[in-house]
Structure 1
Amino acid sequence: MKVFHGRAEGKMSELRGETFSGTVWADPVMPPTDGVTINTVFFAPRGRTYWHTHEQGQVLQVTAGKGWICKEGEAPQEIRQGDIVFIGPNERHWHGASDGSYMVHIATSIGKATWQEEVAEADYPQGLVAG
């Protein structure tokens, strides 16, 4: 058993860049432990991940705002506060905030993430607004 205490006072959030578009911040909740990583992630409007997969899958718990989740070959789906998303092992996907809202989720990632290319601007949905 391991206990991970809340974020240490004065520890700064991490601005994400290499595998994200737009403004995205993350706070590690649990450092990589036995192949599991947990982060709270804040996406500014239109902020999003690149396409990626997780070796053993990922669970997202949306805690605030609205956004999108998209599995390769499928249309993007709206996600909002209170939603839980399970992404299966090696499913190619992306997720991020809508153009009219920020989004915060807790991401539990299992196994290695494999990052791929940026989501094309033309493929990012329009019109999901706050409210």
Structure 2
Amino acid sequence: MSQNENAVTNGIFPMGPKNDAYAQFFTGQSYLQSLVADPAVNVGVGNVTFEPGCRNNWHIHHDGYQILLVTGGEGWYQEAGQAARKLHPGDVVVTHDGVKHWHGATKDSWFSHVAITAGTPEWLEPVSDADYAALEG
């Protein structure tokens, strides 16, 4: 069993099904469980789970923001032009409108966060394998 797998896959929120709807924007396997899907609320809230090595593409939230509440495992968060930040349970990340960024699991750990998202995402290029591998060094 990979590092943190049991803690992440049996976390406080359900892991959810495979994230097929957004698979084209991820390297590796992720899972998505919607936690708030109320049309009267202008934010989405979901539990996102990443298998080891999984990460999403670079992306930007337009006319909104994203808040990540890390609930399990170890992961990475990086904004364009900045060093990557290693994430652990209890960490909080605030991504402001228009900031290019990505997030995902470390190479050898499962990772989960609750994503609170407003606005429209613009999905961009994948994080290169070379850039991702360099984070583990």
What is the letter of the counterpart of residue 36 of structure 1? V
Query: Take 2:113 and 2:129, find their aligned partners in 1: how far apart are those partners?
Result: 22
Alignment of structure 1 residues 1-131 onto 2, 5 Å? 13-16=17-20, 17-31=23-37, 33=39, 34-55=41-62, 56-124=64-132, 125-127=135-137
Can you give the 5+ residue segments of structure 1 that lack an aligned partner in the other structure? Answer: 1-5
SS at match of 1:112: strand
Q: In the TM superposition, what is the alpha-carbon distance from 1:75 to its structure 2 partner? A: 1.1
Q: Quickly say closer, same or farther: Cα 1:57–1:31, change in 2 above 3 A.
A: same
Structure 1 stretch displaced more, 28-37 or 101-110 = 28-37
| Contact in 2 for aligned 1:57/1:110 (Cα 8 Å) | yes
Counterpart amino acid of residue 54 in structure 1: H
Q: Which structure: greater helix fraction?
A: 2
TM-score between both structures, scaled by the size of structure 2: 0.80
User: Which consecutive unaligned segments of at least 5 residues does structure 2 have?
Assistant: 1-12
Higher strand share: 1
Distance 1:109 1:32, change over 3 A: farther
Contact 1:46 1:98 in 2 (8 A): yes
Q: How far has the Cα of 1:31 moved from its partner?
A: 2.1
**Cα RMSD between the aligned structures?**
1.7
Q: Are 2:60 and 2:121, in contact at CA under 8 Å, matched by a contact in 1? A: yes
Letter in 2 for 1:48: R
CA contact (8 A) 1:38 1:106 kept: yes
Identity, in percent, stands at 32
